[in-house]
Amino acid sequence: MSRIGKLSINIPNKVNVAIDKQIIIIKGPKGELSREIPSAIDIYQENAILKISPVIGITNSDQLHGTYRSLIHNMIIGVTEGFQKKLELQGVGYRSQIDGKNLILNVGFSHQVKIDTPTGIKITVENNTNITISGIDKELVGQLAANIRLVRPPEPYKGKGIRYQGEYVRKKIGKAGKK
């Protein structure tokens, strides 16, 4: 049995949890999230505590137990505090800007790269080189940050590219010149 899955989830005062068959809906001050729970997982609420347990006799219930406990816990954190990822652009002439709900990147290509913002996600740009992605859904925030980073990942020779804030890029030594 999963060690993470055994842990109960405390529900803060300002969060409402509704369990309707295999769908859990969590409402909080920042918004509302819902997720379908597989039939291999039992979820029940006792006062201000959520408990999750695997259904005995179903083959993959133990595998899903800890995963769904973490997903539900992240939903509760998302509707109370929210999540954010920060990206940095490093390179001469690399810059970003917001155009309506779209993020426009100039990262050394002959064209601008336009990234659409999904609903529920907020993107802000500071100093043309710092991008902050925030929202209540941890999966969406992380996936959008990864997609933006994939436009121009940091290269190992000069370190130019888009990186997470605080990410260390190990630099390689260039080709040795002839003597």
Determine if the pTM surpasses 0.85.
yes
Tell me if domain 3-80 and domain 83-164 are identical in fold: yes
**75-88 tens-digit pLDDT:** 999 999 999 999 99
3.20.20.140, 2.40.100.10, 3.10.150.10, 3.90.930.12: CATH of 3-80: 3.90.930.12
* 100-109, 144-153, 169-178, range with the lowest pLDDT: 169-178
Dist CA 92 CA 56 (whole Å): 58
Query: In the prediction, which pLDDT does 177 show?
Result: 62
Query: In the prediction, which pLDDT does 140 show?
Result: 94
Query: Whose CA is closest to 107, among 88, 93, 125?
Result: 93
CATH topology of domain 83-164: Outer Surface Protein A; domain 3 (3.90.930)
- Flag whether pLDDT at 178 surpasses 70: no
Query: Whose CA is closest to 41, among 25, 61, 60, 56?
Result: 61
Residue pair 18/25 in contact by the 8 Å Cβ criterion: yes
Query: Whose CA is closest to 81, among 137, 122, 132, 152?
Result: 137
**95-148 tens-digit pLDDT:** 999 998 899 999 988 999 999 999 989 999 999 999 999 999 999 999 999 999
What are the phi and psi torsion angles at 125 (to 5°)? -120, 130
Q: For the purposes of burial, counting CB atoms within 10 Å of the CB of 114, is it exposed (0-12), middle (13-18) or buried (19 or more)?
A: exposed
Query: In the prediction, which pLDDT does 179 show?
Result: 63
Domain spans of the chain?
Answer: 3-80, 83-164
- Flag whether pLDDT at 176 surpasses 80: no
